[in-house]
Structure 1
C-alpha cells in the first residue's frame, strides 16, 4: 500500500482559516460505509443519526498554549519553542526553531525572565529536552506567555483562544485540538443525551506526531509518535455495557478512535487504565470497538486519512473527498465535518 494512494488535490482556498461563529453550523457530509451513499447536512443534524442506547465517545483533552517565543540568553536571538510532552522535574520534550541555535547548555528567556529554559539534550527527530525554571504555577505562566499552537496551514491569528478548545475540554496536555469535537455546543450535547444517547469521555493528549507527514513510500513502514491516553474505570464500564447491549460506539474524532482501539483487547473489551500508544490504523485494520466515526477532512497522504479509509474503505473515502472538494466543503482543523455511518458487515 503506497502513501501516494492517499493523495488528492485540494485547492488552497478550501483550507478553513477561521472557526465559524456558530460551532454546530458547519456542514456535515454523511457517508454510509456499506453502500457508499453520501448525504449533505448541517452538523447539528448529527442528532438525527444517533439512536437511543448508542454511546458517543469524546476526547476531553485540553490544548495548552504550548507555543512560546523567547530569546537566547547572551545573544538575544529569537527562538520559538513548542511544548510536546511533559516529563518529570519541569522537563519537556520540545520542538525548537531554529534548532541550530539551541545546542545543549543554551538558556532561553521568555517574558523578560518570567520563565527560563535550559536545553539539556537533543532527542529523536531533532527535538530538544528543555528544563524550565520559574516561580509560581507553570500553567498560569504558560497562560500568560504562551500562544495556541495552531497547525502551520492556518495563517490567521486566532481571536479567541477558546475556539481551539472543545466545550468539554478538561485535562490539559495537548499540543493540538481534537478538532472533530469543535463542532459540538453544550446545547447540542444536552439534546443528544436527552434523546437517550450516552456520553463517554476518554483522554488522549494529542502530540504533533499526529500531523507528521508520512515520509515513506510504503505505508506499513511509517512509525507513529507515542501519545499518552487515559480510560477511566467508569467510562470503560459505560462503553462496554453499551457494546454488550447492542448499542453503537461512535467515536468523536480520530483521537477518541485511536484511544478506544488501543485500549480494547482481542476479546473486544475496553480496558480501563493509562499508558502510551503508537497505534497506527490503516486499511486492513480490523476495528475492535468503534462502529462509527465523526471526523473532519484530513490532509492528503496523512495517517488520519488512512485511518478513515480503514473504516469506510479507501475508494469510498477518496470518492467522498472528491465530492467534498467539488461541493466546496471547508477542510482541516476549522473546517466542516464528516460522519461515517452504516451498520457493521
Structure 2
C-alpha cells in the first residue's frame, strides 16, 4: 500500500497501481487474521479513493472496475481468513485437550489424604502453553506406608517428558512390592537406562542429548504407626521440614548421584535416612525450579523464609501462599519447571 501510494504521489503516477492494491487483502489474509485483513482492505480502498480524487479520475470505467474488484477480493479474503482462524483454533483446542490428558496420565492429581498424612501438590511448567515438562512427582499409599517421589529430569522437551514418564511408571509399580526404598529407586534407575538405550531414535535426533540424560530424585516414606519419615536422596535439593513454625533442611549424610549416573560411584548404595515427623509437622518436597527462581535483580527465591512467612491451615493453602510468593518474586517469569508437594502428619 505504501508503494502504491508513493507511485500515485510521484511523477510516475501514470503507472497503474490498481492490481497492486487489489492484491493487498488477499496477502493479508495469509497471516493477519480477519481484523488485519479488513484493515488492509480498508487501507487499500483508502489509497484508491484518495489518489482517484487527487487526479480527478472519477468517471473512468477502469476506476470503477478496480474498486469493484477490490471490494470482491476484500470480502473473499475476510471470509477465508475467518475460516482459517477457526480451523487453527479448533486444532489448537484439540492439542490442548491432548496435553491435559497426557498430564493427567504422567502427573496424576495427588489425593488430599493418604493414610496418616494430608497432601497437596503444585506443578508449573516454564514453557509457554505447556502442561507438562521435566519435573515429576507422585504420592502413593502402599503396604509400607505413604511413599512419595519428586524428581527433575535434565533437559527439556519431549525427551524430558519421556524420561519422567519412565521413572514414574517404575516407581508406581515398585513402590507396592519392594520393602526398601533403595530397591524402589533401583527399579526407577533401571527404567531410565532402558529408556535411554531404547531403539527409538526419533527423539535422540531432536538435539536433546537424550542418551546422556539423568534425573535428580528424592523419595520419602511415612510408615504407619511411627512418627518418622524415611528419605533417600539422589542428587536432589533436600526436603524442608516445618516443625513448630521453624524450617529445617533434611540434608543427606551420604549423598548419592542422580539416577543415570550410578556408574560413577564405587561405594555401596546408602540406606534410607530417618527423621522425626510428628503430628502437625509439614514436609515440603520441591524441584530446583523453586530455589533457583530469580527476580529482576538476579536474587534467588528464599524458600525457607517464604515458608516461615506462611500461615495456612490446610496443605492446599500452604502451597497456594508459596505459589503467590514465588510469582511475586519472579514477577510471573519462571525460567524452569517448578514442582512442589507437601505432606502434613495428621496422626500416627
| TM-score of the superposed pair, with normalisation by structure 1 | 0.24
Greater length-normalized contact order (CA 8 Å, ≥ 6 residues apart): 1
Q: Which has the larger radius of gyration?
A: 2
Query: In proportion to residue count, which structure has more strand?
Result: 1
Query: In proportion to residue count, which structure has more helix?
Result: 2
| TM-score of the superposed pair, with normalisation by structure 2 | 0.24
